[in-house]
Structure 1
Amino acid sequence: MAILPAGFRYLRPVLPLGAHRKPMNADADLSLAGQVRLVADFLEALNLDAVTLVHSDWGGALFLTARGLDQRVARQVFLPCEAFDNFPPGLPGKMSALAARVPGGLQFAAHQLRVGWLRRLPVLFGQMARRPVPDELVRCWTEPLLRDPRVRRDLTAYCRTRFDKAGLIRDTEALSRFHGEVLVLWSPDNRVMPPSHGRRLAALIPNARYAEVPGAYVLSMLDNPEAVARELGTFLRATRAQEA
């Protein structure tokens, strides 16, 4: 947060995707559609308007427009994230989906993530981050999953979503109806979230600008935080100046 521009309010909701410390109710809808609804509920509960919504890695919030739930969103920033039919994304996403279907699979995967050399394998984080992800960060991400079976239940519910590829493409393309300012800030050296998806998003959204983060994979805010913060700051200040 320290390298982002001052004068803006930054909120980071923790969605029930495995790193959340407080489990959801057992009957909560944690499918992809349910998670999209949670994002809309978050904006509504805090009475947020004219929001700049930043997407990174998880792509579910792209579908607010398709669901008619984007009234509180004025601008959007797309870092490398799931889009079109790329759910679950690439090799790491497919391995996560497989782990969720094997008894004890998610716990096993979380333990593997805590081992540095294993974490850098392509099936784990080797294609997600070019730089080694710090141990302390990974421990924070995995601690709730390992500690609480209810958190594992929540993540399992999401991972077992049945994805309709044609529907995912259609819902992504609904962003053509979003007329706020958009920055698509993609990573060109990215095998999990294809570079073509970034350019495709920028082409279909009316007021979108495309830029790239050099030397980064999916987790560009970890691989090149200065470049991400610089582009995001430029975008935020420019759109605020337009509204003044």
Structure 2
Amino acid sequence: MRDPRLGTPRSVELPAGVLRYHEAGDGPPIVFVHGYLVNADLWRKVVPLLSDRFRCITPDWPLGSHLVPMNRDADLTPPGIARLIADFLAALDLRDVTLFGNDSGGAYSQLVGADHPERLGRLVLSSCETPGSSWPPGGFGLLKATAAHPLSYRALYQVLRWPRTWRWRNTYGWLAKEPIDAGVMRSYVGPVLTDAAIRYDGRKVVGSVDARYTRVAARKLAESFDKPIHLLWAADDRVFPLPDAQRYADLLGVPLHAIPDSYTYTAEDQPEETAKALARAAEEAFE
């Protein structure tokens, strides 16, 4: 189950498998891309603030907290996830899309902008990998190592059965300033704890991440992406530091908007500020 504020639940058959998503509102489309080990519930506070003006589309990307596993042979490397996002936009026949990516979802969004820009109208990146904040950052190195074997990967996540561990800095403690609702947290950690097929997807995702993908994408975006890019960054980010974001904004020649009193999950810590900044970025091309 997902938060009802996300709107109507739907699903679509893609080459990689069935993808579940929610949809709310009418107007220009915003497609949200979350990061690893969260799902569409990350956007539950933001969607109601935008759905009066925008068509808000919030998929559960197959990054460890999804409910429907991908096909066994699905490509879940970074280029494969970027292709999955592009296939989703095509399946829904979305055009002039605002693609909003946060955390590692911002890394995947950069790959979409670099390699599959056809349906994009603008790219909005929020507290995510940059050329100065490598991929994988921080604890992703351990995650990548344990993804080599099903038993080590499964064992790593067992601590998440205890709610007190959710505030550790190497779990979710440096991603949200305040504790996330317990029901939402259970939607994040439950699938990886209970479903072997979801763990299989997660292992493929984590085992294939590499900083070289975002570095190449950043260069392509700087050289040839001809659509607006906006950076919306958590001012107090502990994972993707604001100075790295400023350097990336300077490289791209694009604006940087700092969201105060927030860690990486700006939609969790500061939903109103996130919604306002995202709406301004999305509306820019329609003025």
Q: What is the TM-score of this pair, normalised by structure 2?
A: 0.76
Distance in 2 (CA, whole Å) between partners of 1:126 and 1:143 is 18
Superposition deviation, residue 75 in structure 1: 0.8
1:66 counterpart = 2:81: no
Superposition deviation, residue 48 in structure 1: 0.8
| 1:35-69 CA distance string (max 9 Å, x none) | 111111111111111000001011122012332x1
Superposition deviation, residue 162 in structure 1: 5.7
Distance in 2 (CA, whole Å) between partners of 1:74 and 1:204 is 20
1:26 counterpart = 2:58: no
Superposition deviation, residue 213 in structure 1: 0.7
Superposition deviation, residue 114 in structure 1: 4.4
Letter in 2 for 1:193: F
1:89 counterpart = 2:137: yes
- Aligned residue runs from structure 1 range 1-244, under 5 A: 1-4=47-50, 6-58=52-104, 59-67=107-115, 69-84=116-131, 86-91=134-139, 93-101=140-148, 103-161=150-208, 163=210, 165-176=211-222, 177-206=224-253, 208-241=254-287
Q: 1:220 to 1:109 in 2, by over 3 A?
A: farther
Superposition deviation, residue 105 in structure 1: 3.9
Distance in 2 (CA, whole Å) between partners of 1:118 and 1:222 is 18
Q: 1:219 to 1:114 in 2, by over 3 A?
A: farther
Q: 1:235 to 1:166 in 2, by over 3 A?
A: closer
Q: 1:100 to 1:115 in 2, by over 3 A?
A: same
Identity between Structure 1 and Structure 2 (%): 30
Superposition deviation, residue 121 in structure 1: 1.4
The secondary structure found in structure 1 opposite 2:282 is helix
Q: 1:45 to 1:181 in 2, by over 3 A?
A: same
CA RMSD of aligned residues (A): 2.0
Relative contact order, CA 8 A, sep 6+: which one is greater?
1
Q: What is the TM-score of this pair, normalised by structure 1?
A: 0.88
Gapped regions of structure 1 (runs ≥ 5) = none
Q: 1:221 to 1:114 in 2, by over 3 A?
A: farther
| 1:162-185 CA distance string (max 9 Å, x none) | 62x445312222111222222211
Letter in 2 for 1:33: P
Q: How many residues align?
A: 237
The secondary structure found in structure 2 opposite 1:61 is helix
Whose strand proportion is higher, 1 or 2?
Answer: 2
Distance in 1 (CA, whole Å) between partners of 2:244 and 2:185 is 27
Segment drifting more, 228-237 vs 22-31: 228-237
Segment drifting more, 153-162 vs 190-199: 190-199
Note if contact 1:74-1:181 (Cα within 8 Å) is conserved in structure 2.
yes
The secondary structure found in structure 1 opposite 2:188 is helix
| 1:176-233 CA distance string (max 9 Å, x none) | 1222222211112222112233213322334x22110111111111111111112112
Superposition deviation, residue 17 in structure 1: 0.7
